[in-house]
Amino acid sequence: MGYEKKILVCENSIEGIFSAVYDGWHWENKGISVKIAAEEPEYPELFADRVDITSDSEKAVKVARTVRRKLGEQVYEAVCYAAVSIHPDKGTAVFYLLRKALGGKRCDRHVLEALADPAVSLVSSLRIKVWHEIHRFYGFVRFRQMAGGILASVIRPENDILEFLGIHFSNRFPNENWMIYDEGREKILVHEKEGECCVYVQKVLNKNAGGFLEEPDEYEEMWRAFCSCIAIKERTDLKLQKQFVPLKFRSNMLEFYE
């Protein structure tokens, strides 16, 4: 039997990757090797068929439901975090992790422990990376108050974590109108107060949207003063500070503005 390989090119989102996992499953069952690319491959690969996958929410929901039911919330979370990372091989790693856990009628809820497997090892390192970034932004998002008490924030995360921030912040500020804008991806997360805590993710049409923030208010001044007062000058250690807040995060944190 000859060697066959398919490259599934899908949309760069959890839904896209799950749809590709759904379609790839049958081919892998037939002994065809599968690769999932969430971005357009730079070079066409020799001896491999290219298949374009259209995102299908029904397929994605099926995959998500199966993973949650059979493998548990922990594996599901790991797979979702890996799927929003920026690593180019994330799709393939997610696919082979699920094959290892569920292929051939298996059901291995402890699959994340099999760290010697390259797919598992990649997914679990991506999970940690993405979780770290989410956790950092839980703290580093800075809202500025605009007219009418609306809170607005601009961030530039490495991984596509906006939706995960939505879960946290809508629980934290249920009675506020707020939005978080992802500069790099030009996406915005909007939360309206009262009623359902809804989270919309949409492409921003106006390219100058970064300039929507208004003038600083007195509390920003007080926060800056607080941050400088709270440091003990005998213990100054700027290197340690940089380790915890790398420069790339500081552009949107007002206490670091000169």
Q: State yes or no: residue 195 binds other proteins (CB under 8 A).
A: no
CA 100 to CA 97: how far, in whole Å? 5
We find the least distance from the C-beta atom of residue 175 to other proteins, in angstroms, to be 7
Q: State yes or no: residue 147 binds other proteins (CB under 8 A).
A: no
Contact call for residues 177 and 151 (beta carbons, < 8 A): yes
Among 30, 58, 206, 228, binds other proteins (CB under 8 A): 228
Among 40, 43, 148, 175, binds other proteins (CB under 8 A): 175
The torsion angles phi and psi of 33, rounded to 5 degrees, stand at -80, 140
Q: State yes or no: residue 142 binds other proteins (CB under 8 A).
A: yes
Q: State yes or no: residue 145 binds other proteins (CB under 8 A).
A: yes
Among 42, 58, 73, 218, binds other proteins (CB under 8 A): 218
CA 77 to CA 115: how far, in whole Å? 17
**Closer residue to other proteins, CB minimum distance, 107 or 115:** 115
Measuring CA to CA, how many Å separate 24 from each of 69, 95, 199?
20, 8, 31
Footprint (CB under 8 A) of other proteins, residues 154-173 = 169, 171-173
We find the least distance from the C-beta atom of residue 242 to other proteins, in angstroms, to be 9
Beta strands 49-52 and 144-145, pairing class:
unpaired
Question: Residue 58 is which amino acid?
Answer: E
CA 220 to CA 120: how far, in whole Å? 44
Interface residues with other proteins (CB under 8 A)? 110, 113-117, 121, 135, 138-145, 151, 153, 169, 171-176, 197, 218-223, 225-241, 243-245, 253, 255
